[in-house]
Amino acid sequence: MKIENLYKRVDHKINFNLSVMKTLIKFALPIVAFMFASAAAITTNESKSTQNSKTMVIEGFIQNPTESNCLSVTVDCTTVNTGFMCEAFHNGQDRRVWLKNSSGACNLNLFKVVNP
């Protein structure tokens, strides 16, 4: 008789633990999946925005005074057209900054980095 009661108690305990685990899995699993999906979406979005701006400190050139006579400057600009021309402050004024072409003339456009 004592052994039967012991088996019943153990069986009841196991069934209780299984029902608790089923409930946890039923509710916790979707929450965990949502958290992973959200983290992945944020990471992907940050990666795309970083890739699109392609910001970097590069060597640009100021036409001094013509495109065949270029003065080197360091700027934080991009080759991606943002609609805003790259400029650097030189000798008391803002000057447009360019890249050199294959023949050495500074006449290729550079653009300001625009953060969204």
Q: Count the domains in the chain.
A: 2
Cβ pair 52, 44 in contact under 8 A: no
When mean pLDDT is compared across 19-23, 31-35, 36-40, 49-53, the lowest value belongs to: 49-53
Residues 102 and 76 occupy one common structural domain: yes
Q: Which tens digits make up the pLDDT trace of 51-93?
A: 444 557 888 999 888 888 889 999 999 888 989 999 999 888 8
Q: Do residues 75 and 94 both lie within one domain?
A: yes
Nearest CA to 110 among 62, 48, 51?
A: 62
What is the distance of C-alpha 81 from the center of its chain?
19
Does residue 44 sit in the same domain as residue 82? no
| Whether the predicted pLDDT of 98 surpasses 90 | yes
Q: Please, what sign has the CA dihedral across residues 65, 69, 71, 77?
A: positive
- Would you state the torsion angle of the CA atoms of residues 37, 40, 46, 47, taken in this order, to the nearest 10 degrees? -140
pTM for the model stands at 0.50
Domain check: are 48 and 5 in the same one? yes
Domain that holds residue 84: 54-112
